[in-house]
Structure 1
Amino acid sequence: MNRIIDHPILGSINNQNTIPFQFDGKTYNSHEGETVAAALLANGVRRLRDHEESGTPRGFYCNIGHCMECRVTVNGQSNVRACLTLVEKNMRIESGRQLPNIVKRMVEEQ
């Protein structure tokens, strides 16, 4: 686990409740009040999506909501920023995928 459990200013999180969530079909646990980004990082997940066109891996970058690199799909809603979204019990999160060639061609034609 890569989580800070005793912070000099924020205090200890050892007594916080944990809640389950899924990322790409695998179940993880988060502390209540954690963002999706913090929970994934604490569970060792670094790759959040693939670039829509090139397929190169993307992860966390600014972690303050400006860059949009941490976009994931949450409970069927796409383009949700992991760094600004709090984990909810049994939340289903999916990584972003590279667009299929036919979809890329349709986007390019517009």
Structure 2
Amino acid sequence: MAARMMPSRHDPIRRRDETAIGISVDGEPIAGVEGQSIAGVVLARGRLAWRTTSAEGRPRGLFCGIGVCFDCIVTVNGERDVRACQRRASDGDVVETQHDELPEAAR
């Protein structure tokens, strides 16, 4: 199969419109564009980390970007352990960062 150039106007996965949406992350309002993932909206705001590791409190955000590593987990509208890279942001979403402590047995 040969590679070919496609004019952007014919690209089937390009953004179709620029409908503005708004989400809140830990109470901070953040503007985004319909179709963006939660991670995309947060990264576009310039925030690189939104979680810390349980063991050493190291910052984490988007790592793999495909839902394999779980570094980007957040709580969305009360639902825990949502991978921000996999969830499309919806207007009005309430996102909270997660900072889980280690279980007693691991300490």
> When the two structures are superposed, what TM-score results if normalisation uses the length of structure 1?
0.77
Give 1:76 deviation, angstroms: 1.1
Compare CA radii of gyration and give the structure with the larger one.
Answer: 2
Contact in 2 for aligned 1:46/1:59 (Cα 8 Å): yes
Letter in 1 for 2:24: Q
Cα separation, 1, equivalents of 2:90 and 2:15: 21
Counterpart of 2:84? 82
Cα separation, 1, equivalents of 2:48 and 2:70: 15
Counterpart of 1:104? 103
Residues 27-81 of structure 1: per-residue CA shift (max 9 Å, x gap): 0011001100111111111112011232111111000111111101111111100
- SS of structure 1 residue aligned to 2:43: helix
Total equivalences in the alignment? 96
Cα separation, 1, equivalents of 2:78 and 2:23: 14
1:65 to 2:60 alignment: no
Cα separation, 1, equivalents of 2:81 and 2:103: 17
Unaligned runs of 5+ in 2: 1-7
Give 1:92 deviation, angstroms: 0.5
Question: Once superposed, which parts of structure 1, at least 4 consecutive aligned residues long, lie more than 2 Å away?
Answer: 8-13
Unaligned runs of 5+ in 1: 1-7
Q: How does 1:1-110 map to 2 (within 5 A)?
A: 8=8, 11=14, 15-99=17-101, 104-105=103-104, 108=105
> When the two structures are superposed, what TM-score results if normalisation uses the length of structure 2?
0.79
Give 1:104 deviation, angstroms: 3.0
Q: Which moved more, 1:50-59 or 1:72-81?
A: 50-59
Cα separation, 2, equivalents of 1:104 and 1:59: 22
Letter in 2 for 1:28: I
Contact in 2 for aligned 1:73/1:80 (Cα 8 Å): yes
